[in-house]
Amino acid sequence: MKQRKNFSYAKYGYIFCIPFILAFLIFSFYPLYYTVSISISDRQGVPLPGREYGIQTRALFDEEKIPVYDDNGNPLYDEDGARVYDITRTPILDEDGNQIIKIAPLENFRTVLNTEMFKRAFATTFRLWIVNFIPQILLAIILAAWFTSRWTKIKGQGVFKVLFYMPNIITAGTIAVLFSTLFLFPTGVVNDALIRWGILETPKNFRVDANATRLIVSFIQFWMWYGYTMLILISGILGLNPQMYESADIDGAGAVKQFFFITLPNLRTILIFTFVTSLIGGLNMFDIPMLYAGGGPGGATRTTSMFIYNQAFAGAYRYNTASAASVLMFLIIAALSAVIFVIMRDKDEARLKKLKKAEARAIKQAAKAVN
């Protein structure tokens, strides 16, 4: 591809990347930076009593301080008839009456890491992802192999390909509703069927069973995404050089052998892409566990994204801990992606590169020596 080095054209490489870089800096990087900056402060989301919102600081209203109540829940007043406020939880103000935002780099991270809910949510998220991703990638690979195989030549495969992506078209909300009705207690379709077939004697309440709910959530994720993964993998296989297969045919290698020794190894880049995007999507899982199960039963399907959402928006408006949890999740995802890259990198190619480098160095040295 680099047949000709033409320096006068190189500047277009920069120019054509500018929109991407700009949009990235404005819409991804800045919010991310903002999230990180919140994660090391004691900033909260709304003018909760004694809490502060947004970038600008401003004077607190009297009613934003935290009042003290007696044991019956009635507000306390001092001798002058003024309300008593909890000074320990009321923020410190500067001379102009603006709240001083405290910066505590590690405090929020410590809080999050000590939160049982977060640890559990992380384990849950990982579990939900693994349980849906492994069957998903396996099925997708098998289907992709079938649909690209010259040996089987499936008729009507176009229709199947189009159909398999369709679960991805419906909104998560609709899917959640449909599955709720399927697994309804006591008279849902699944319960009816299981009783009719004699598998169950009395209706089972799937919603209170942690394992069943997790399994259903994983299944929905699997069912929504295997078509997408299949399409990406098919694209990868179609991009492989047909000559490789031709020579394999000549060598007499069968379809299965060809798949394992030609298709899979050469599909590496696309597989890494699939793994990483699925990892990101999976560890950010939100819609289905939220809408189908509400994170229940007893937090059994609460994912880290839901934890973050609940911390940030559901009543407490704890932006700082939510941001810290977000940053932690980013670090975890980046680390896991790196692991995927390392495990799946082309070992031969890396070795080849090293060799080439050494060769170049040797040539250089030789040239030097000659001079």
* Contacts (CB under 8 A) with another protein, residues 218-237: 223, 227-228, 231-232, 234-236
84, 101, 131, 184: which one binds another protein (CB under 8 A): 184
Nearer Cβ to another protein (342/367): 342
**140 belongs to the binding site for another protein (CB under 8 A):** no
Tell me, by CB under 8 A, how many residues bind another protein.
149
CB of 229 to another protein, least distance (A): 12
- Residue appearing with tokens 């001083």: 100
**239 belongs to the binding site for another protein (CB under 8 A):** yes
93, 100, 134, 238: which one binds another protein (CB under 8 A): 238
Instruction: State both tokens at 111.
Output: 């809080």
Nearer Cβ to another protein (76/106): 76
59, 113, 269, 366: which one binds another protein (CB under 8 A): 269
**187 belongs to the binding site for another protein (CB under 8 A):** yes
CB of 93 to another protein, least distance (A): 16
Nearer Cβ to another protein (131/244): 244
275, 283, 289, 301: which one binds another protein (CB under 8 A): 283
CB of 297 to another protein, least distance (A): 6
Question: In 175-189, which positions are buried (b, 16+ CB within 10 angstroms) versus exposed (e)?
Answer: bbeebbeebbeeebe
**261 belongs to the binding site for another protein (CB under 8 A):** no
Nearer Cβ to another protein (253/276): 276
CB of 199 to another protein, least distance (A): 19
Residue numbers 70-109 binding another protein by CB under 8 A: 71-74, 83, 86, 89
